[in-house]
Structure 1
């Protein structure tokens, strides 16, 4: 599988849509997926909005828990790569990153929005 580096500077604002969750490798046993070094793989759903266009959501896998990342928070994604995959008649693109970190001074959006 070929990895394709992604220039995150061209993706606009990246915002956490779903907080980090451990990736499950076996839904029957609830076994958590690990990398070659034994680190738990987490997934984070991130919204991408370029040039005031509509928002897309991508799910990014990362080894180790991204600390301090909360829903609604602007995040920095380091070392993002895309992988094209296919299984039978299904195909898609998956994303992996070296790290996902919160952007300092960029608070998460308030949920509910009422007083």
Structure 2
């Protein structure tokens, strides 16, 4: 199940450069099963009025962003998973782009 996330009141800041997503067992770069595109992961801090949380987000194109840059995550979804006695939530976005600072923020 994929849960679409409403990010209208959330700001995202890049905290680690994008890197190719690698299969832990084979050491090979992972690819999207439906498109064949190489998968990348980016670590961001999600910030809202209650504080911040670090997320690792998977995307299917090489991210052109820098650490410390505020970005927009398009089509962000949460994907709950369970494997044996482990479980968690994976995050996937259809795209990532820098957010230009507004004139009011300057």
The TM-score bracket by the shorter chain reads: 0.7 to 0.9
| 1:80–1:97 CA contact under 8 A, matched in 2 | yes
| 1:26–1:32 CA contact under 8 A, matched in 2 | no
Tell me whether 1:32 sits opposite 2:25 in the alignment: no
Give 1:10 deviation, angstroms: 2.7
Give 1:60 deviation, angstroms: 0.3
SS for the counterpart of 2:8 is helix
Give 1:54 deviation, angstroms: 2.9
Match of 1:83 among 79, 82, 102: 79
Give 1:30 deviation, angstroms: 2.2
Structure 2 unpaired stretches of 5+:
none
The Cα RMSD (Å) is 1.5
Aligned residues: 101
Structure 1 unpaired stretches of 5+:
107-115
TM-score between the two structures when normalised by the length of structure 2: 0.87
Give 1:42 deviation, angstroms: 0.3
- After TM superposition, the runs of 4+ consecutive aligned structure 1 residues lying more than 3 A away are none
> Matched residues in 2 for 1:74 and 1:9: separation?
14
TM-score between the two structures when normalised by the length of structure 1: 0.81
